[in-house]
């Protein structure tokens, strides 16, 4: 990991006490000879006028620190992956699988990163989604969902050019191992270790009960063809971006060339995180 000279700060604006956390983090960075680069919302919280647009932060920094929850983290993940900048998530939200570092451990984790510890940098596979000739990066999942009053979605699912299923369901989740603990888990999918080279296909309330969550190789090319004329179908990327699909649209998904470098806690490992977040006892 290259030397950190500039660290970006991205926040959940309405998190309780976030202004004090920004001030403390800014002071900690400056004490270590690092220039803080604040997004606009963060700059406003501490009375500064030099904030940048959130999407510009990763390209301007050597490290991004997210103060908030997983939604805040996901909002910057795709731009951080393109810039090849590690992201450290400090949990000011609720569950926090991506923002796994507790506020009390923020300085400890920061010092571990600055010391060059590579064992706490976890490379996370991302997915590349092509739709309407536009390609987007996702860290967690791509979700196909019907509108509130729409009938079930009819879609054809193909893997590596082979049609494997024609299904009717309320939707479909295509998830990375990182995203296996998000929407896919709620829909009955398995938990995958982040290092597993796989893509998870999880139907949402399928009419065909025999079609269960399916794990395919990360080298697979997945094609989803929606065949639901006259119905509203929505495509959502990481719960942050997306929109309404054509009622007979086609989406192609594959492993992205980019990875996200996630700063993990120096105090716990992945299964310890699962025990804590999922209350496994």
The catalytic residue positions are 70
Distance (Å) of CA 132 to CA 95, 138, 144, 178, 250? 34, 16, 15, 26, 8
Rounded CA separation 281/278 (Å): 9
Strands 198-206 and 214-217: antiparallel
**DSSP character for 221?**
-
Which residues, in sequence order, are CB contacts of 145 under 8 Å at separation 6+?
Answer: 153, 170, 171, 204, 233, 234, 236
| Side-chain half-sphere exposure of 172, counting CA atoms within 13 A | 28
Rounded CA separation 19/146 (Å): 39
Which ranges in the chain belong to alpha helices (H)?
18-31, 40-45, 70-83, 106-114, 183-186, 270-278
């Amino acid at each position: 990991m290259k030397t950190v000279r500039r660290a970006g700060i991205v926040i959940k604006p309405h998190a309780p006490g976030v202004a004090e956390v920004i001030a403390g983090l800014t002071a900690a960075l400056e004490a270590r000879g690092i220039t803080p680069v604040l997004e606009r919302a963060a700059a406003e919280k501490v009375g500064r006028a030099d904030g940048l647009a959130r999407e510009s932060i990763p390209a301007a920094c050597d490290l991004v620190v997210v103060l908030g929850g997983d939604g805040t983290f996901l909002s910057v993940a795709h731009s951080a992956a393109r810039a090849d900048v590690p992201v450290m998530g400090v949990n000011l939200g609720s569950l926090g699988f991506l923002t796994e570092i507790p506020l009390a451990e923020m300085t400890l984790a920061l010092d571990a990163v600055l010391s060059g510890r590579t064992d706490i940098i976890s490379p996370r596979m991302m997915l590349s989604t092509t739709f309407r000739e536009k390609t987007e990066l996702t860290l967690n999942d791509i979700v196909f969902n019907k509108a509130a009053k729409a009938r079930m979605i009819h879609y054809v699912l193909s893997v590596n050019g082979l049609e494997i299923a024609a299904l009717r369901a309320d939707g479909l989740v295509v998830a990375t191992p990182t995203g296996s603990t998000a929407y896919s888990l709620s829909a009955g999918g398995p938990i995958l270790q982040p290092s597993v080279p796989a893509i998870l296909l999880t139907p949402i309330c399928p009419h065909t009960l025999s079609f269960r969550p399916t794990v395919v190789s990360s080298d697979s090319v997945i094609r989803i063809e929606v065949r639901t004329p006259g119905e509203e179908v929505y495509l959502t990327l990481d719960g942050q971006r997306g929109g309404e699909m054509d009622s007979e649209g086609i989406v192609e998904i594959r492993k992205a060339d980019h990875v996200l470098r996630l700063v993990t806690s120096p105090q716990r490992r992945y299964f310890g995180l699962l025990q804590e977040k999922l209350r496994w006892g």
